[in-house]
Structure 1
Amino acid sequence: MHRSRVYAILIDTPRAEAAQAAAFWSAALGVPAEPDAEYPQFIGLHEALPGLVAAVQVVDDAPRFHLDFETDDVEAETARLLALGATRVARWQECRVLRVPGGHLVCVLPVESPPEVFDAQARTWP
């Protein structure tokens, strides 16, 4: 058995438009846009979506939205989503990138939330 939950909603934006996109989403959502010092490809939109991380992510691809699933077992959660019809796209560090039916991307990553948040919100899967 393993557990997982939606952890983040990412606004994937081409590099040339990232600053403008972050300024737009910051103003539209009424929250500050703050670059992530550790991972400069992310511009956080802190507290935009209660209980979830929201950020603009710089990508070398088309603009889109994607979800991040955090889990206590990356391999098991990846296998669960593959069984539901997702396909493998890439791997980045410990993250698995999948394309789900309908064409959207999702990422599966190890738990990032504080333990009490993950414990309270994660669903358990067989």
Structure 2
Amino acid sequence: MTHRSRLAGFIIDCQGGDHDAATTFWSCALGLPVTETYEEGQARYAELGEAPGGLHVEVQRVDHASRVHLDIESDDIDAEADRLEALGAKRIGFVKRWWVMEAPTGHRFCVVRLRDRAGASEPNTWD
């Protein structure tokens, strides 16, 4: 079955601490305005707008060590996870509505639902 995917953007994971201060730092450091903040359960998010190439950039409060990870978005997250597994990635777990994956290099990333974003590149089509 054919599905589509593309790089969605970058998520700045910040362990605990003051999420507002972390958001202010990254907003100022990257020159990207805060466009939305929200909470979902224990998680807290701040979206940074106007990123180059229509990329999605957000600051996320997490329990694990601070790091930056990327999101790949797809119109069929299970098919995309299957495709990435065939390339050597492994599924770590399903969280809320996305797959957490690990590349053969040890880097963690997520496969999330495809979103319509102004300025975003066209997704790749996979068979």
TM-score in terms of structure 2 length: 0.85
TM-score in terms of structure 1 length: 0.86
The aligned length equals 124
Partner of 1:3: 4
1:33 aligns with 2:31: no
Deviations 1:67-108 (A, max 9, x none): 111111111100011111111111112201001122211111
Partner of 1:60: 63
Deviations 1:16-56 (A, max 9, x none): 14333211111112222244236461111111333111011
- Map 1:9-48; keep pairs closer than 5 Å: 9-37=10-38, 39=40, 41-48=44-51
Greater strand share, structure number: 2
Q: Is the 8 A contact 2:39 2:45 kept in 1?
A: no
Identity %: 40
Give me the CA root mean square deviation. 2.1
Q: Is the 8 A contact 2:38 2:44 kept in 1?
A: no
Letter of the 2:61 partner, please give it. Answer: V
Structure 1: 5+ residue runs without aligned partners? none
Structure 2: 5+ residue runs without aligned partners? none
